[in-house]
Structure 1
Amino acid sequence: MTDVDTSRRPVVVGVDGSEHSRRALEWAAGEARLRGAVLHIVHALPFGLSPSGGPDLHVDAATRSLTELAAVARSLDSRPLTVTNDVVDGLPVKMLVEVSRHSALVVLGSRGQGGFANLLLGSTAVEVSARAASPVVVVPPGADVLNRSGDVMVGVDGSHDEPALEFAFSRASQRWARLVAIHVWDLPDGERAEEESDALLARTLTPWQDRFPDVIVETRSIRGQVVAALVAASAAHGEVIVVGGRGRSVLAGALLGSVSQGLLRHAAVPVVIAR
């Protein structure tokens, strides 16, 4: 049985009462149990709290809702889970970035309402991913949040891969899961490009395999379009797909542009943007 260590940084989940945030809560609760960490549930009220500090219907309703969600999170598993919650005055992006400074990771649903309206339908997800101090995990509506027996998938491009590989190898080691490292390329000279891709994967992964000798690693060099390739690969056997916060080449745009938005919109498994 995993004991809860309150000295560890919490797993934070942003909720707003939508079904999407409910799935994020379920995933975050499992993650907190795995880590032996506190689960911290937060809700933003962007229109402001009561300036007088007195009773406020919106704050009271949000607080009751978070108390109910805390009970739900505890009921998902018999293992111990310490849950805290907070109703925060402010805009979602600012609040999430601030709490990320003291968090192990921040977990969000793929869509929202209320305080997290349109969270991943515009620039908000990109802003949180770019500015958060911790990894950001986005849980899509179709993800099987209670079954985590799949592979840990990680996108590799040969630059700024360290945060993604750190997260992916650590997670695979914790779960005794296979790690699948993917490099996507699309160059005219297919045979030579594939050889270079294989060499890049070997060069990049060797120090991490030395550090995590217990992790079984599979490498895949795939010719194609990066978002489509990562989405397809993770859909087959993935538990999560992990990508870095910055990149080049096939992951150009630091995963804060078309690639990240493509993954957030189309991936069938939780997307981890590691920092």
Structure 2
Amino acid sequence: MADNMTTSDIVVGVDGSDESFAALRWALREAQLTGQRVNAVYGWTRSWDMGSEPDSEEGWERLRARITERLRTWVDEAVSGLDDVDGDDVTLTSMHASGTAALLRIGKDAQQIVVGRRSLGRVARWFTGSFSASLAEEATVPVTVVRIFTDEDESMQDAIANALTPGDAATGYARPESGSGGRPVVVGVDGSATSRRALEFAAHEAHVHGVPLHVLFCWQLKDLGVVPGYENAVAPVAEGQKRAEQLLDGIMRDDDSLFDGVEVQAHAFHISAAKGLIAASRYASHLVVGSRGLSGFDAHFLGSVSKQLVTLAECTLTVVH
């Protein structure tokens, strides 16, 4: 494991929203298991409800004190009802900057940055999704996006299920229940250095939470390189599957030291990475992927797998750089 896996802080974006409270609670539960500290960060810019801009250093000090008090109130509200969690143990950091800028600066040496977002990408939530995707692209440390579900989400799923099911019997979309060992951590791998770091992060998560780890290699023929025996022809899917399983076996052998104390299974599926991992997210407790190193214009224009997952994954997601 990397040296900072359990020694560096977990940095959480907090802004008073339900999403940020969910992120903070997730981070605090994580810290209980690892012994890490949690740093709640609020990036703020001036707004109409702050009154006129201070014209003295004393005025700025009063404003900063108000903002710190607001952050303390949010933290206390977020931890209310959590056993063995004291809001006083949370470091409070406010910065006069946008939320993204504050988290990138404060979290540059963190073990991970944690933010929250809702599951449905409605217009009113577009800014949250854009914020999460932007942060996941620009950060140099892992970014965890904690998904929360609401009654509205479930009712929309039920409405779709009823509309598309023949007959008059009421039906609904039921999310799978956790098994006796808990939902697994799922990680997508492709043999790259970034996916190796994602595998390390995922193995650590599975070990800390005592749940199985499932390693997914989602492939298409173009991802496999030259399939032996088909150097000048398109390989059948069955041969592609054999090749994919060979590549996955190599990945697992190279990193078998990561899996001490972890129940691990590896799977190769003939499906695009985005589709396969989105499907897996419906049954996972935590999905981990590599960023593939895309940033800026290329990531926006091409659409990376990780960027699609930030928007569409149905469980907590970590993007590892």
What is the one-letter code of the residue matched to 2:203? F
Aligned to 2:79, which of 73, 79, 90?
73
Q: Is the 8 A contact 1:96 1:106 kept in 2?
A: yes
Summarize deviations over 1:56-101 as a string: whole Å, max 9, x none: 6864553223212333437512267721112111122222111122
Give the paired residue count.
Answer: 256
Is 2:166 the counterpart of 1:167?
no
Aligned to 1:94: 101
Q: Secondary structure at the match of 1:121?
A: helix
Aligned to 1:182: 216
Is 2:282 the counterpart of 1:206?
no
Aligned to 1:104: 111
Summarize deviations over 1:96-115 as a string: whole Å, max 9, x none: 1111222111001126xxxx
Q: Is the 8 A contact 1:209 1:215 kept in 2?
A: no
Q: Is the 8 A contact 1:105 1:135 kept in 2?
A: yes
What is the one-letter code of the residue matched to 2:72? T
Aligned to 2:166: none
| TM value normalised by structure 1 | 0.81
Aligned to 2:183: 150
Cα distance in 2, alignment partners of residues 107 and 70 from structure 1: 14
| TM value normalised by structure 2 | 0.70
Cα distance in 2, alignment partners of residues 9 and 170 from structure 1: 14
Q: Is the 8 A contact 2:112 2:144 kept in 1?
A: yes
Gaps of 5+ in 2: 1-5, 48-52, 119-124, 151-174, 222-234
Alpha-carbon RMSD:
3.1
Q: Which has the higher helix share?
A: 2
Q: How far 1:210 sits from its partner (Å)?
A: 3.0
Q: Is the 8 A contact 2:188 2:288 kept in 1?
A: yes
The 4+ residue runs of structure 1 with deviation greater than 6 A are: none
Change (3 A) 1:87 1:233: same
Q: How far 1:55 sits from its partner (Å)?
A: 4.3
Q: Secondary structure at the match of 2:141?
A: coil
Q: Aligned residues: percent identity?
A: 27
Cα distance in 1, alignment partners of residues 255 and 56 from structure 2: 54
Q: Is the 8 A contact 2:13 2:41 kept in 1?
A: yes
Cα distance in 1, alignment partners of residues 129 and 85 from structure 2: 35
